[in-house]
Amino acid sequence: MSAQYTLVVGTKNWSSWSLRPYLALRATGAPFEEVVIQLRRSESPSTKEQIQKYSPAGRVPVLKIEENGSATSVWDSLAICETLAERHPEAKLWPADAHARALARSYAAEMHSGFPDLREQLSMDFARKTPAPQLREATQEQVARVLESWEGALAKYETGGGFLFGTFSVADCMYGPVVSRFLTYGIKMPAASQRYAERIMALPAMKDWGAAAKAEVESGIA
């Protein structure tokens, strides 16, 4: 019997960390259930109370895997992406080439552990278009670093499938929400990055996430 997956995510308009493993899970093609927890909710049941039912770390995303009578919870976006890559080798969530794979891992890890000013000043607001705030110097440097790294990867691998390392990989999962942020705040991108952004936004998974985010905004919960 195949595993049953449940992905626990936060409010889709805001939860960039949740979008990352969602993109990976969609890329596997495996069926899954979804639980959406409302972020920034203080009244009962608060965000904290709701997340605690699923996550020992008190954060989303969480992937629950039920299989052979037992259940495992995997938390943290990168750990979930790694777990999915291992469980679904056919999805090729890491590049086949060892050199490209090492680079893709670096890209994913750099996003996961870095860019604090970009994350704070250009927080994900998927369904909205908003003028960018006055960007601090550190934020400007981090935006430039993202674009420089995209341009570098695309110069070498774009022709192999259009994504950072050719075909869609965990590196793209990690940067998908950054594409959304750049579009929300009208960040100017060089040509290859602009094409990359268009390809990411055209993914059916991004479109579905965007439709759900729009519904959240329209209903006033985000």
Ligand X SMILES: N[C@@H](CCC(=O)N[C@@H](CS)C(=O)NCC(=O)O)C(=O)O
Closest to ligand X by CB, 14 vs 94, is 14
Segment lying near ligand X (by CB under 6 A), choices 12-20, 92-100, 135-143, 176-184: 12-20
Residue 158 CA to residue 166 CA, distance in Å, equals 5
How would DSSP label each residue in 51-112? HHTT-TTS-S-EEEEEETTEEEEEESHHHHHHHHHHH-GGG--S-SSHHHHHHHHHHHHHHH
Interface with ligand X (CB under 6 A), residue from 47, 139, 142, 184: 47
**Rounded to the nearest whole angstrom, what is the least distance from the CB of residue 124 to ligand X in the complex?**
8
Q: In sequence order, which residues have a C-beta less than 8 Å from that of residue 135 and are 6 or more positions away?
A: 121, 122, 143
Cα-based angle 177, 179, 180 (whole degrees, multiple of 5): 65
Q: How far is the CB of 144 from ligand X (least distance, A)?
A: 23
| Least distance (Å) between residue 52 CB and ligand X | 10
Q: Contacts with ligand X in 102-141 (CB under 6 A)? A: 112
Among 13, 15, 121, 167, binds ligand X (CB under 6 A): 15
Task: Indicate the residue type of 212.
Answer: A
Among 26, 59, 64, 181, contact with ligand X (rule: CB under 6 A): 59
DSSP-derived pairing of the beta strands 4-10 and 32-37: parallel
Nearer CB in complex with ligand X: 162/177:
177
Contacts with ligand X by CB under 6 A lie at 10, 15-18, 39, 47-48, 59-61, 76-78, 112
